[in-house]
Amino acid sequence: MTLDPLKPAFDPVTLAIPIFVLTIIGEIVLARMGRIKANYEARDTATSLFMGLGSTVAGLLTGGAIFAVSLWAYQYRLFDIPMTAWWAWIAIFFLEDLVYYLFHRLAHERRFWWASHVNHHTSQHYNLSTALRQTWTGGLAGTWLLWVPLVLLGFPPAMIAIQKGISLVYQYWVHTEAVRRMPAWFEAVFNTPSHHRVHHARNPRYLDSNYAGILIIWDRMFGTFVVERDDEPCRYGIVRNLGDFNILRVAFHEWMAIGRDLVTARSVRDVLGYLFGPPGWSPDGSRDTSKTLKARWAASQAAAGLPAASPGPPEAKDPAPAVP
């Protein structure tokens, strides 16, 4: 197979679609037989599938322009990194995964980018179909610009596109409750269902953590790793769940909320805060952010004489009080 640095030879996500379909059906069947743990709800699953379809259409509409920017930037690359070199694929594996971590963290911690990512977290169920609940507005939000420095460094746009696809395919399988934990060495290095369940949880203990794509090492290095605990099951969804399955609301509700807030803004500070502050930011601090929710939870832990952090093994048995 000839590798063209300016044109991806294949799309890993497209090739994986039959696997996605078969494994979702398999997870549903095995769950109904009582062989594995998997909670499916028909309307929720349909919403995830339609969000995935809409994301594909949105990608077709914006992908060409985004790739064209990458091709333009490639003219100004610092080095010529060959796609045929084995070391180049190892380098792009680690660098692209680091960029994904930075993107994912930004998409949770700054409201403008959270607005395009939040739909992925709106399901109150956690199964393989949840992986397909993807953004419709990611291309317009501009987070793809985070990958442009890799192009300027000298990695061919086609190489980056292929690695991004590989990362997305890998992340599909971690959206399941059927796999409890992988071997300890695997959990230490790679993103796993256990780690990603924590990422999707709305428990205050678990908020804004485990941003990994393929490698969990970035979370461990940058202090965003939180272990899943057997004594505190993950509760899925967002802090204030939508309560319906309207796909337009799922796709655009946070953008609409930003618009309503901007109308009430009284200063440049308010505008910037509503756009780029953490989700939940308000001028008077009256709304909850992840930081305030976690602080309140930590205070309740302290009042009960319980630890606010869980550095120990996930099967630790010190019970944590429920936080509404």
Write the pLDDT tens digit of every residue in 54-90: 999 999 999 989 999 999 999 999 999 999 999 999 9
pLDDT > 50? residue 4: yes
Q: Enumerate residues 6+ apart whose C-beta is below 8 A from 2.
A: 9
Cα–Cα distances (Å) from 205 to 101, 281, 307, 324, in that order, read: 20, 19, 11, 12
pLDDT in tens, 91-129: 999 999 999 999 999 999 999 999 999 999 999 999 999
Q: How confident is the model at residue 324 (pLDDT cuts 50, 70, 90)?
A: very low
pLDDT in tens, 190-214: 999 999 999 999 999 999 999 999 9
pLDDT > 60? residue 318: no
pLDDT at position 309 is 66
Q: Which amino acid, one-letter code, is at 210?
A: N
pLDDT at position 127 is 98
Q: Enumerate residues 6+ apart whose C-beta is below 8 A from 253.
A: 118, 242
* φ, ψ dihedrals at 268, nearest 5°: -60, -35
pLDDT at position 120 is 97
Comparison of pLDDT for 75 and 5, the residue scoring more: 75
pLDDT in tens, 234-270: 999 999 999 889 999 999 999 999 999 999 999 999 9
Helix axes 157-172, 12-32, angle to 10 degrees: 0
Please report the DSSP string for 48-80 in residue order.
HHHHHHHHHHHHHHHHHHHHHHHHHHHTT-SS-
Comparison of pLDDT for 57 and 319, the residue scoring more: 57
Tokens representing 295 are 């602080």
pLDDT at position 212 is 97
pLDDT in tens, 24-49: 999 999 999 999 999 999 999 999 99
Task: Report the DSSP beta bridge partners of residue 215.
Answer: 190
Mean pLDDT value across residues 222-231: 96
Show the DSSP H helices in 154-304 as ranges: 157-172, 184-189, 193-200, 217-222, 247-264, 268-276, 290-303
Collapsed DSSP state (helix, strand, coil) of residue 164? helix
Cα–Cα distances (Å) from 126 to 38, 117, 120, 129, in that order, read: 8, 16, 11, 8
